[in-house]
Amino acid sequence: MPVSGLPPYDDSNIFARILRGEIPSKTVYEDEWALAFHDINPQAPVHVLIIPKGKYCSFADFSAQASEAEIVGFTRAVGMVARQLGLETPGYRLLANLGEHGGQDVPHYHVHLFGGRPLGRMVARE
Ligand code: AMP
């Protein structure tokens, strides 16, 4: 069941298609809970997307509906990807966009992992 007020999961979204192997991606990590791959339009020297394997539209959906095992598994996978990419010491940024104000384009929950240079302010001033 989707979270009240949010649209249902759309199986044709591009990350669902990547999970099904219909569209290629540059995989950097995969386990039971998560898939991580390079963003096609990187905004930093390292820009990786980490997505849960379950069908969740957004962080709101995932945080409310995912099992504890999925939440723990996904969270550990995010940490693992950052560690494996050598980003822990220089540091990195995690970002999850949600909805219109958050600027979410792809309706499958994903975390952006940015690194490889000092990343500046948290949110650009408009
Ligand atoms: P968001 O605005 O948070 O929904 O971010 C979606 C991200 O997905 C953007 O940074 C896109 O560059 C990225 N993206 C879209 N299509 C692909 C793809 N086929 N492979 C990798 N990244 C993609």
> Residue 110 catalytic?
yes
Which residue among 47, 101, 110, 112 is the active-site one?
110
CA distance 114 to 10: 26
CATH superfamily, domain at 14-115: HIT-like (3.30.428.10)
pLDDT of residue 4: 60
Q: Rounded mean pLDDT of the chain?
A: 94
Ligand 1, from 41, 97, 101, 104: best to mutate by most atoms within 8 Å of Cβ? 41
Rounded CA separation 39/25 (Å): 9
Residue 102 predicted with pLDDT over 90: yes
Q: In angstroms, what is the span from residue 22 Cα to ligand 1's centroid?
A: 16
123 pLDDT band, cuts 50/70/90, is confident
Taking Cα atoms as reference points, which of 110, 16, 17 lies closest to residue 62? 110
3-class state of residue 49 by DSSP: strand
Ligand 1: residues within 6 Å at CB? Answer: 14, 23, 25, 39-41, 49, 97, 103-106
Q: List the one residue out of 90, 88, 89 whose CA is nearest residue 79.
A: 88
Q: Give, using CA atoms, the residue closest to atom 17 of ligand 1.
A: 40
Residue ranges per domain, the chain? 14-115
Whole-model pTM: value is 0.95
The answer to whether residue 3 scores a pLDDT higher than 70 is no
In tens, the pLDDT along 41-74 reads 999 999 999 999 999 999 999 999 999 999 999 9
Please tell me the distance from the alpha carbon of residue 114 to that of residue 45, in angstroms, as a whole number: 8
